[in-house]
Amino acid sequence: MGRPMGGGYVIAVRGGAGRGAADREAGPVAVVAAVGPVLGWSVLSQRGGLHGQEDCCASRAGAHMALPAAQLPAAAAGMCSLQPGLAARAPQHREHAGCDPGADSPAPHPRDRGWHTASLQPTRAPRKHALRVLDMTGLLDDGVEQDPGTMSMWDCTAAVARTCIAQQQGGTADPGPAPIPVEVRVDLRVNRASYSFLREALRSSVGSPLRLCCRDLRAEDLPMRNTVALLQLLDAGCLRRVDLRFNNLGLRGLSVIIPHVARFQHLASLRLHYVHGDSRQPSVDGEDNFRYFLAQMGRFTCLRELSMGSSLLSGRLDQLLSTLQSPLESLELAFCALLPEDLRFLARSPHAVHLKKLDLSGNDLSGSQLEPFQGLLQAAAATLLHLELTECQLADTQLLATLPVLTRCTSLRYLGLYGNPLSMAGLKELLRDSVVQAELRTVVHPFPVDCYEGLPWPPPASVLLEASINEEKFARVEAELHQLLLASGRAHVLWTTDIYGRLAADYFSL
């Protein structure tokens, strides 16, 4: 629970791994009873505690602390008697928050990752210390690492939408001053099934005491007109990411949507997954749509991440990247059929020396693309943290030729090589040479070709992904790799074939 800052509170409702039994068993009524009279709002937390957070938008420093829900009544009682001293009243919770409650620059506990939802209803309490901001951003996406005790983006979106609609429909006729508006910061996830519900919630929040401020929007399998309708309802000053997946937009659809996205001047991340747009189509309409798309891309001033997965950009990457006003730090071009000239341009562009994350999965790097790819690695070596090269047709020969420049990426933390036809000998060379990369923490490697039987050569990626392996041979490979890691003092480095066991590194977490 945050201390009062400038007459208002900034609160984040959070839940995650590491919660104690008392947290999980605390009833929501206790939370409402403890917090409502103090803040001027009733806060109904489904699980977990309330956390104060620095108000970044207003640049007001404040203490950060975490209180389990079971401790809220006592904490609130103390806050009522001496409001500004809350942060100093609960030193016993320092280990839970992962920081000193009195510190000005807090560091949340690394396990404390999932954000839970809340239901809010206005009250007529005094305005002196009313809730101003409820930050519910930062939820883990659905995935294999999702803590069953935390809420997902889907859950949060639904709960926030229900609350906004209920608040608008319920209204209030009580005498006295109107409730102080609360800015509710959220990440929203929407698909065809939830579109109408979320649109109603966004409409309800206009002029409402509960003002939705969407930070990240993720829309999946949503028709073009519905995507545009949602974008028109979002606050232009809040949005930092637009993530469109499986929408089958094509260039025509992109040309319709992109001007609505470009109005978000603070947008830092644009992710266009599986848009199935072939920029090489010879039609006049296709060329016009592509040029219009490029012109709109030039309007972004803060863009730092661009993902164009499965968009055919052969020979057109220079046109796309040259329109951007500022260098990218994260670039995902998976399955974009890149040509050698695309890689050469990228290596010479201003973007290369700023890249922290690069994904070239699904592009064949085994032939004439290998040399320009090595040049790109050389250009990005000083900044690169995350490199994804899944299914790039890299065999031992190409890997060994690339190792001298790859090992110059001394800040690299993650290397993805799954789906490449590498042998055990090639993997051992990589393991030995990567000893100079002190920051490396994860290597996702393929099953060595030694563990297959009767492979065609060169083996297509589909064969490597679907063919059966000799489990006994692979067990020996794993044991040998583990021993090599131990012998080199790198037991902390994870070498794995599990591409689903870890959530992909998010640009904003790098």
| 158-187 tens-digit pLDDT | 777 777 777 766 655 566 677 788 899 999
pLDDT average, residue stretch 498-502: 79
How far is it, in rounded angstroms, from Cα 188 to Cα 180?
24
pLDDT average, residue stretch 294-315: 94
Cβ neighbour number for residue 11 with a 10 Å cutoff: 25
The residue with greater pLDDT, 38 or 408, is 408
| 323-351 tens-digit pLDDT | 999 999 999 999 999 999 999 999 999 99
The predicted structure's pLDDT at residue 380: 98
Residue 212 has pLDDT above 70, yes or no: yes
Residue 238 has pLDDT above 80, yes or no: yes
The predicted structure's pLDDT at residue 49: 32
The predicted structure's pLDDT at residue 198: 92
Q: Residue 449: pLDDT band by 50, 70, 90 thresholds?
A: very high
How far is it, in rounded angstroms, from Cα 424 to Cα 407?
19
**Alpha-helical regions (H) of 335-387:** 340-348, 370-380
Contact (Cβ atoms closer than 8 angstroms) between residue 496 and residue 415: no
* Helix, strand, or coil (residue 321): helix
Structural tokens at position 16: 């995650």
* Helix, strand, or coil (residue 173): coil
How far is it, in rounded angstroms, from Cα 152 to Cα 306?
24
pLDDT above 90 covers a percentage of the chain that reads 51
Residue 86 has pLDDT above 60, yes or no: no
Q: Which helix (H) or strand (E) holds 442?
A: strand 442-444
| Signed CA dihedral, 459, 464, 466, 471: sign only | positive
How far is it, in rounded angstroms, from Cα 6 to Cα 62?
10
The predicted structure's pLDDT at residue 287: 84
The predicted structure's pLDDT at residue 116: 38
Q: Residue 322: pLDDT band by 50, 70, 90 thresholds?
A: very high
Contact (Cβ atoms closer than 8 angstroms) between residue 305 and residue 242: no
pLDDT average, residue stretch 457-474: 90
| 346-385 tens-digit pLDDT | 999 999 999 999 999 999 999 999 999 999 999 999 999 9
Cβ neighbour number for residue 101 with a 10 Å cutoff: 22
* Count, residues in the chain: 510
The predicted structure's pLDDT at residue 70: 37
How far is it, in rounded angstroms, from Cα 351 to Cα 154?
34
pLDDT average, residue stretch 290-300: 94
How far is it, in rounded angstroms, from Cα 52 to Cα 61?
11
The residue with greater pLDDT, 440 or 44, is 440
- List the Cα angle 449/454/460 in 5-degree steps: 60
108-122: burial string, b at 16+ Cβ within 10 Å, e else: beeebbbbbbbbbbb
The predicted structure's pLDDT at residue 161: 78
* Helix, strand, or coil (residue 360): coil
What 8-state DSSP symbol labels residue 33? H
Q: Residue 67: pLDDT band by 50, 70, 90 thresholds?
A: very low
How far is it, in rounded angstroms, from Cα 67 to Cα 148?
20
How far is it, in rounded angstroms, from Cα 105 to Cα 100?
9
How far is it, in rounded angstroms, from Cα 182 to Cα 179?
9
Residue 5 has pLDDT above 70, yes or no: no
| 220-231 tens-digit pLDDT | 999 999 999 999
pTM over 0.85: no
pLDDT average, residue stretch 194-201: 92
The residue with greater pLDDT, 431 or 160, is 431
Lowest-confidence pick of 175-189, 382-396, 424-438:
175-189
Lowest-confidence pick of 243-247, 375-379, 388-392, 503-507:
503-507
Q: Which helix (H) or strand (E) holds 133?
A: strand 130-135
The residue with greater pLDDT, 109 or 325, is 325
E strands, 263-410, are 269-273, 305-307, 330-332, 357-359, 386-388
Contact (Cβ atoms closer than 8 angstroms) between residue 143 and residue 503: yes
Contacts 24+ apart (CB under 8 A), 473-478: 474/447, 474/448, 477/424, 477/427, 477/448, 477/450, 477/451
The predicted structure's pLDDT at residue 74: 35
